[in-house]
Structure 1
Amino acid sequence: MNGQEVSEKIDFKKGVKSILKEIFVSLNMKYLIKSYIISAVLTLIFLSSNIPSVGMFIIIMANAILFPFSALVYDDLFSLMMGNTLFIMPIVFIFLWKLIKVILLYTFAIFIAPLGIAYILIRNRVVK
């Protein structure tokens, strides 16, 4: 390895570190904590239901890390479309809907979260 390759690796690490910092700093800490607690509970449920293969374990862990960003996509799209609309429904229906929503967002987090991460990065660049 020559000096230029080492310098490029260091620059790449700094770039990744700054992007990760930008992503996590731009989100509300309470939102992140709440989302990661939900993610941890779902991860424990998925892992305890059966012994996953190595590939499935990797996907479950990726979903656990990416869940807050997939939830961000849903939350922002929902607030954009519905605004401050108030729905009056039975609590059982609301609880069931939230449970289904969270399970679907967790299950497909590996596909939905990149949209949330891109949204955060674009929003931060536009605001600056």
Structure 2
Amino acid sequence: MHPVIMKTLGGLSRAYYIRQFLFGLIFPALFLFAMNQDTNPHPVAFGTYALLAVNTLLYPYSRFVYESVIDYILGRNVFFVNALLMLFVKLMTMILCWSFAIFIAPIGLLYLYFHHSRNAAG
């Protein structure tokens, strides 16, 4: 496989990518379920399917960027909050990361490329 692809798309661990990918499948499934109800007479455009697929495939990289930023800001601090509030915030961040994955993921891919290039060189 080409080194650029290995350093970017292959930059996340397999377990992390699969875990995040499975969580990312929730959103297109809900979207397609809503779009295929009898109350919606319009067919779903091919571009919509393409965007759903791209966002789902890029979601793990988007989530990686989000988690890296949060880890940098919060460090090793621990916060004790209401579990329902935390689940709600987590769901909202997952929705945002999935919705904007096409814009956020390239940042993660660039970081992974430079990170793995630096590690390979030194």
Say whether the fold is shared (TM-score over 0.5).
yes
Per-residue deviation, residues 15-48 of structure 1 (Å, max 9, x unmatched):
xx43223334431222111101011122211111
Partner of 2:85: 93
Which contiguous aligned blocks of 4+ residues in structure 1 show a shift greater than 6 angstroms?
none
Q: Which has the higher contact order (CA 8 A, sep 6+)?
A: 2
Question: Among residues 8, 25, 29, which one is paired with 1:44 in the alignment?
Answer: 29
Matched positions, count: 113
Structure 2 gaps of 5+ residues are 37-43
Q: Which residue of 2 aligns with 1:59?
A: 51
Shift of 1:55: 1.4
Unaligned runs of 5+ in 1: 1-13
- Separation in 2 of the partners of 1:63 and 1:26? 18
Amino acid at match of 1:82: L
Q: Which structure: greater helix fraction?
A: 1
Q: Confirm or deny: 8 A CA contact 2:8 2:110 kept in the other structure.
A: no
Give the structure-2-normalised TM-score.
0.85
Identity %: 24
